[in-house]
Structure 1
Amino acid sequence: MTVKAIGRRSTVHHPQRLTAAAALAAVAATSLTACGTTAGANSGDAQGGGTVKVVATTTQVADFVRNIGGDRVTVTQLVKPNASPHEYEPTPAALQAIGEAALLVKNGVGLEDEWLPKTVQASGFDGESVDTSTGITLRQGEDHETGKTADDPHIWHNPLNAKIMSETIEKALIKADPSHKADYQDNFTAYAAKLDALDKDIAGQINSLPADDRKLVTNHDAFGYYIDRYHLTYVGSVIPDFSDQAELSGSQLDSLVDKIKKQKVMAVFGETSLPPKTAQAIARQSGVKVVAGDGSLYGDSLGPKGSAGDTYLKSMEFNTKTIVDALK
């Protein structure tokens, strides 16, 4: 029986989003001249008692900046909670924030390549760009559309990578605001200890599962670093690609159903930034439980304020408990 491919876009809608060109035109029309502010002026404000203006692309990167920067930074986060970082269209307010920023902090590994370069160009940004993937050992997989080897951009799903990302942010903030070097160092030390504790806790929870039951099927191929770090088995994903924007193939979904049955997978996990219907259909056809809706994993995005995944630490704790509970 063929499983029909159902929807692939994020369930979070932004009716006022514009293309980069349209947003830039709107900025010009409303005389948002602050986009021309230079990085030097912003970093100088920080040294004079103000805060460092930082634009962070993704929810995870923004959370790292807030933890390392503390009250020394003002953070504008581009991608909204429960939204896909693989696609983004800027608003006039976002372009203004980028143009005024001293630092632009991104995930890297191509995650934002579809939209970030044109957005930065449209904003007139003249600050320092920070790639938080610097120094991280990347895992590779096959690009679904091209068939070529590609780097996996979902680096934050290993807490030890999150520590490297946070250290890169620490160094960038010290460079932008050297008079508060000790603050950034102290914040990083405290947060790094929490990341180490998180890593140890996750390992303990996953190790409580029988080795044969540590099999993961998710909405898209976003958990490779988590799987590698904690020694799970990746069986497949509803969208067999690092990007959640890949086209779905009926034959691939049928093949996934067969794998789930043959390998006796216990559950299929949805993700908060993706519609649950296809994951639910896969689970029904496979005869296994589905974790979807409000209980979905935080894959590409953190959750909104007040949710179980509104910080990086909480999202990883939630994901691990959800996985362990479903695979017991």
Structure 2
Amino acid sequence: MVGCGSGGAGGSSEGKDGRLPVVATTSQVADFTRVVGGDRVTVTQIVRPGVDPHDYEPAPADLAAIGDAKVLVQNGVGLESWLEDTIDASGFDGVRVNASDGVRIRAGQGDEEKAGDPHIWHNPLNVKIMVADIERGLAQAEPSAAARFHANRVAYDAQLDALDADIRRQIATIPVANRKLVTNHDAFGYYVERYGLTFVGSIIPSFDTSAELSGSNIRKLVERIRQTGTKAVFSESSLPRRTAQTIADEAGVRVEAGEDSLYGDSLGPAGSDGDTYLHMEEHNTRTIVTALR
């Protein structure tokens, strides 16, 4: 697979179709890269919609795509724990973009989360930093298109500002006493922090959906839901609804689970309410506000 790598500073930055070949690890950074790059880039996305990026296992095709790329965009903050070995095996030697550069990172939990909370995209203001990182990386790889990348990023910044204002407006319609959130795993800390919600707890006591669940943790969470008067339990569209349903039933509250619940670690498939970042955050906010208001 090392032989598949064709990147390098000495060659043309264009791929076979005349566009800059870019690999993006997660569905979120792939979406941002397509927006900023526009028609000057071809983006290969490694982790597909609905797939948990925490424990993804790269396929041979992923190594080949990374080896051929001129730019590699990652989320960072330890989300892609599998990435370093994949890069080493691919022979990649292009421009590497860590989209978390410049973002204020929330503290992590224990040894598994030494780098901090990786779910930085759930605050649109963080996304403005992420797309600026991506713009710089694309411009470094293809300076002749720098002005176009910049214009695309500035236009997207305006959409992110509008999204942020709309989320704040909607959250303000929830009675203050009801602004309490219980989620499937601890993926919404940046959202909670930005919009003044109270995080009561998560079904899986970790940022990582692969963390183990215990009966003791479930019992404690049910008790906290009852004590705090929390109105709903939110699962994620990419995760099974059974445990969330059980906890909600025991606590006597509403459950939001299944395909129409929150998008946490991944965007949704094409045509869904979460098929782009903007759609995802709009959908999540509608779901949260409807359940808590």
TM over 0.5: yes
Select 2:147's aligned residue among 182, 207, 211. 182
Mean Cα displacement is larger for which, 186-195 or 36-45? 36-45
- For residues 44 and 148 of structure 1, the distance between their equivalents in structure 2, rounded to whole angstroms, comes to 36
Is the partner of 1:281 in helix, strand or coil? helix
The residue number in structure 1 matching 2:129 is 164
Is the 8 Å Cα contact of residues 77 and 115 (structure 2) preserved in structure 1? Answer: no
Alignment of 1:1-328 (within 5 A): 24=1, 33=3, 35-40=4-9, 43-45=12-14, 50-113=18-81, 115-143=82-110, 146=111, 151-328=116-293
The CA deviation string for residues 190-233 of structure 1, in whole angstroms up to 9 with x for no partner, is: 00100000000000000111111000000000000000000000
Output the TM-score relative to the length of structure 2: 0.96
- For residues 112 and 141 of structure 1, the distance between their equivalents in structure 2, rounded to whole angstroms, comes to 15
Following superposition, the deviation at residue 253 of structure 1 comes to 0.9
The CA deviation string for residues 147-202 of structure 1, in whole angstroms up to 9 with x for no partner, is: 98651110000000011000100011111100011110110010010000000000
Is the partner of 1:218 in helix, strand or coil? strand
- For residues 67 and 105 of structure 1, the distance between their equivalents in structure 2, rounded to whole angstroms, comes to 13
Q: State the aligned residue count.
A: 293
Can you give the 5+ residue segments of structure 1 that lack an aligned partner in the other structure? 1-23
Output the TM-score relative to the length of structure 1: 0.86
Equivalent position amino acid for 1:72 in 2: R
- RMSD over aligned CA atoms reads 1.7
Query: Which structure's relative contact order is higher, taking Cα pairs within 8 Å and 6+ residues apart?
Result: 1
Is the 8 Å Cα contact of residues 55 and 103 (structure 1) preserved in structure 2? Answer: yes
- For residues 119 and 149 of structure 1, the distance between their equivalents in structure 2, rounded to whole angstroms, comes to 21
Q: 1:42 to 1:56 in 2, by over 3 A?
A: farther
- For residues 267 and 42 of structure 1, the distance between their equivalents in structure 2, rounded to whole angstroms, comes to 55
Can you give the 5+ residue segments of structure 2 that lack an aligned partner in the other structure? none
Following superposition, the deviation at residue 45 of structure 1 comes to 2.3
The CA deviation string for residues 247-274 of structure 1, in whole angstroms up to 9 with x for no partner, is: 1111111000000011111100011222
